[in-house]
Amino acid sequence: MRRSVALLPLLLVSGCLVGPNYERAPPASPVAPQYKEAELPPGAASLFRPAQPSDGADRGQWWRVYDDPTLDSLAAQVDVSNQNLKIFEANYRRARALIRQDQSALYPNISGTGAAQQTGTGAQRGAGGSSSSTVTRFDSTVGQFSTGFTLNWELDLWGTLRRQVESDSAAAQASDADLANARLSAQTDLVTNYASLRISDDRKRLYEATVAAYLRSMQIAQNQVDAGIVSRVDLVQAQTQYEQTRAQLVNESINRALLEHAIALLVGKAPSEVTIEPAPTRLTVPTVESGVPSSLLERRPDIASAERQMAAANAQVGVAKGAYYPQISLGATIGFLSGGLGSLLQLGTAAWSVGPQIAGTMVDGGGIAAQVQGARASYDATVATYRQTILTAFQQVEDALAQQRILVLQERVQRAAVAAAREAERLSLNQYRVGTVPYTTVVQTQAAALTAEQALLTIRLNRLVASANLVKALGGGWRQEDLPPPVPIGGLKQANPAPPAFPPPTAQTVSSPGR
């Protein structure tokens, strides 16, 4: 028996691990050397400037590239007070606790018991000279004390428990990556809502200036009506245009309030606690470096999470296969029984037993095979999810690069359209004063100028949102090295670890177009 016990650690270390060893699945398709949308169209090289080096930028606080102190202050509160992040953080701590819980099954379980009991015998006798009055008296009492200890140790000869710990460790890493992805999403939402709020401020100033201009136009029309030059229809048209623009100004106030409330939720506060004073937009559209596609596989937390979930599902196949093999455990008990505490722990009062136990399934009607098939199907699903996550990531980067590149051209064209619309508005108003054009011409040119200005602000917002989406699509500076290391399995060296991540990129970095 002593020799068998001495060999147990060797058996545990050298025991095989049931189930397939994990191998990282390759991407669904070969990774291109560069992003398609990062290429400049023929003849357009003069419209863009190359991205500025940003190796010295703080990759954690990526929102600082917008150079807005108010945004910096709000973004710092997301990681501290956002309640959705607290949910993901709690889920990660729960995943870590589950690892420790399953690791405990690799070690012996020792429990103890204790009891004290007093027994006695007696007879009823009369008292006080009355036959109706009796008392109960015990002639003798006996004390009995007992204590004992039980040891139970399930020997993980087939590696089933170690596979479960391996699965839990990978799941905890996936949970940490989910937390990083949720943090990046919250930060991106904040940047998007803040940019929308500042563009809303610009739009309100545009409406206020337009209302003032329309009021002057209405006064011109009133002077023309008073002089008998034009009919009252011109004045009514001017009033209509004036009031419609005032209504747009009021509606923009609603839009801004909703954006402010959304920002309050992202920073974990009630809307009544957050007030952002109107201010001119100081956000600069940053130049975001896209890198090479191969590096994206290690830069996105959602890809890392999908890959770790795949590793966890692979280990679950081994857990399911472990049910084919018998469970071998070592049990031992020792108990002491005595009539007094002083002699309780003496060897003469001890009774003990020790020996191995084995239990296994003989016939189950195919239940274990069905569990293994289900585990393999779950693994196949995680492989497909992993590959789909990679494809989605490439699509999001390409979409953001296309928007960033094309919106630059669109903004240039739109600025020219705004300048032309404003000139047409000025000329039509001057011609109306001298009576060479009807007021409908003024209305049309003023409406066209306002629409052009609105479109320019929308393009500006789209550029800011596209830059934030590109940062998010590229992982926000996150790296796979940010994942916590795998948890050791019960202090033993983990067998057959997963191969390293995809090799680091060697191709030259491709930069996205500039502002």
Which pLDDT value is given to residue 231? 83
Say which residue, 347 or 385, is predicted with more confidence.
Answer: 385
When divided into structural domains, the chain yields a total of 1
Buried b (16+ CB within 10 A) or exposed e, 474-505: bbbbbebeebeebbebbeeebbeebeeebeeb
Within-domain flag for 510:
no
pLDDT at position 363 over 90:
no
pLDDT score of 339: 73
Distance CA 365, CA 85 (A): 46
Is 104 domain-assigned? no
Task: Examine residue 101 and state whether it is found in any structural domain, yes or no.
Answer: no
Range of the domain at 63: 15-81+156-325+368-482
Least confident of 22-36, 170-184, 269-283, 372-386: 22-36
| Rounded CA separation 334/147 (Å) | 9
d(CA 493, CA 149): 31
Q: What is the pTM of this model?
A: 0.79
Q: Is the pLDDT of residue 490 over 70?
A: no
* CATH number of the CATH domain containing 467: 1.20.1600.10
In a domain, 362, yes or no: no
Residue 188 lies in a domain: yes
The per-residue pLDDT for 427 is 95
Task: Quote the pLDDT of residue 49.
Answer: 34
pLDDT surpasses 90 at 230: no
Any domain includes 421: yes
Phi and psi at residue 290, to the nearest 5°: -80, -25
pLDDT in tens, 187-225: 999 999 999 999 999 999 999 999 999 999 899 889 888
Is 461 domain-assigned? yes
CA 151 – CA 112 distance, rounded (Å)? 9
pLDDT of residue 376: 93
Does 171 reside within a domain? yes
